[in-house]
Structure 1
Amino acid sequence: MDRTISFFSAEASGPGLADLAGLLCGHGQIAGFGRTAARLSVVVDEPWRARALAGECRRRGADAQVGTADCGHPQVRTAFRVDLLPLASRWLRSGCTGPAEDDSGKAVPDGFRLSGAMLRMWALAGGRQGGSAYLLALDPLAPGTHARLAAALAPLGVPARLLGPKADTPAVRVTGRRRLESLLELIGEPPSGAEAAWPETVPARRAG
Structure 2
Amino acid sequence: MSQMSLFSAEIEDPAIADLAGLLAAQGQSVHTSWGARVSVVVADQWRADEICDEIRGAGLEAEIVESEEGKPIARTEANPRITALHRAWTTGAVKSVPEGWTPTPHALRLWTLAGGRPDGAHYVLGLDPTAPETYAPLSTALMRTGIAPTLIGTRGGNPGLRISNRKRITRLAETVGIAPDGAPTGEWPVG
TM-score range, shorter chain: over 0.9
After TM superposition, list the pairs within 5 Å mapping 1:90-169 onto structure 2. Answer: 90-94=88-92, 105-169=94-158
Higher radius of gyration, 1 or 2: 1
Question: Which range is displaced more, 169-178 or 149-158?
Answer: 149-158
**Structure 2 residue identity aligned to 1:5:** S
After TM superposition, list the pairs within 5 Å mapping 1:68-107 onto structure 2. Answer: 68-94=66-92, 105-107=94-96
Q: Deviations over 1:70-106 (max 9, x none)?
A: 2221111222101101111100114xxxxxxxxx720
Shift of 1:4: 3.3
SS of 1:197's equivalent in the other structure is coil
Q: How far apart, CA to CA, are the structure 2 residues paired with 1:130 and 1:115?
A: 24
Which residue of 2 is the match for residue 199 of structure 1?
189
Higher-strand-fraction structure:
2
Q: Runs of 5+ in structure 2 lacking a partner?
A: none
Q: How far apart, CA to CA, are the structure 2 residues paired with 1:32 and 1:51?
A: 24
Shift of 1:115: 1.2
Which residue of 2 is the match for residue 101 of structure 1?
none
Q: How far apart, CA to CA, are the structure 2 residues paired with 1:39 and 1:164?
A: 28
Question: In structure 2, do the counterparts of structure 1 residues 165 and 105 end up closer, same or farther at CA, with 3 Å as the change threshold?
Answer: closer
Which residue of 2 is the match for residue 205 of structure 1?
none
Q: Is 2:5 aligned against 1:5?
A: yes
Whether the aligned pair in 2 keeps the contact of 1:9 and 1:115 (CA below 8 Å) is: no
Shift of 1:164: 4.4
- Runs of 4+ more than 3 Å apart: 164-168
**Structure 2 residue identity aligned to 1:51:** D
After TM superposition, list the pairs within 5 Å mapping 1:162-181 onto structure 2. Answer: 162-181=151-170
Q: How far apart, CA to CA, are the structure 2 residues paired with 1:14 and 1:165?
A: 34
Whether the aligned pair in 2 keeps the contact of 1:127 and 1:137 (CA below 8 Å) is: yes
Q: Is 2:36 aligned against 1:38?
A: yes
Identity %: 39
- Please give the root-mean-square deviation of Cα atoms over the aligned residues, in Å: 1.6
Question: Scaled by the length of structure 2, what TM-score is found?
Answer: 0.93
Q: How far apart, CA to CA, are the structure 2 residues paired with 1:28 and 1:143?
A: 14
Q: How far apart, CA to CA, are the structure 1 residues paired with 2:85 and 2:153?
A: 30
Question: Scaled by the length of structure 1, what TM-score is found?
Answer: 0.86
Q: How far apart, CA to CA, are the structure 2 residues paired with 1:137 and 1:122?
A: 8
SS of 1:196's equivalent in the other structure is coil
Whether the aligned pair in 2 keeps the contact of 1:138 and 1:172 (CA below 8 Å) is: yes
Q: How far apart, CA to CA, are the structure 2 residues paired with 1:53 and 1:14?
A: 13
Which residue of 2 is the match for residue 55 of structure 1?
53
